[in-house]
């Protein structure tokens, strides 16, 4: 059970080390506890083990892509309602539609506007 003063856990799924480092630092500076995965298979395993409150899912991942990982995470009992934000460099409506159909709640494009991301995270956590 989550304690009141315990920070919200965010699963950051990103295969590029520099992106992961920067995102982790920004999230931690905003008060989040960050766990990481570097591919889709790891993302599913970490989601199962940690039951994060929110997931940032890169869509272009090795082993299992972000869409397939999202579909698998949605089957986990503790993660069926966990907000998942798709993160991608592709800014087309096709990619966004595919992400939403796979089970993502929202979609944000790289390079990430961190203020926009913070607002989106706050909104999704408030709704859930």
Lowest mean pLDDT among 3-7, 14-18, 38-42, 79-83: 3-7
pTM: 0.94
Q: How far is CA 7 from CA 31, 100, 115, in A?
A: 6, 27, 19
For the chain, report the end-to-end CA distance as a whole number of angstroms: 16
As a whole number, mean pLDDT of residues 55-62 equals 96
Give the tokens for residue 65.
């892509």
pLDDT, position 1: 45
Which is nearest to 58 in space by CA: 9, 18, 107, 10? 107
Per the CB < 8 A criterion, the answer to whether 14 and 20 are in contact is yes
Complete domains list, the chain, with CATH: 9-127 (3.40.50.2300)
The pLDDT-based confidence of 45 (bands split at 50, 70, 90) is: very high
Residue 54, classed as helix, strand or coil, is strand
């Amino acid at each position: 059970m989550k304690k009141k003063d315990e920070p919200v856990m965010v699963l950051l799924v990103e295969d590029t080390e520099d992106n992961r480092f920067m995102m982790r630092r920004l999230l931690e500076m905003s008060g989040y506890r960050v766990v990481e995965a570097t591919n889709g298979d790891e993302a599913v395993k970490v989601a199962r083990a940690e039951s994060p409150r929110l997931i940032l899912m890169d869509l272009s991942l090795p082993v299992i892509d972000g869409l397939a990982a999202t579909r698998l995470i949605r089957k986990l009992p503790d993660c069926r309602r966990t907000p998942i934000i798709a993160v991608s460099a592709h800014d087309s409506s096709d990619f966004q539609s595919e992400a939403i159909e796979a089970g993502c709640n929202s979609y944000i494009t790289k390079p990430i506007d961190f203020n926009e991301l913070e607002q989106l995270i706050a909104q999704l956590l408030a709704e859930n």
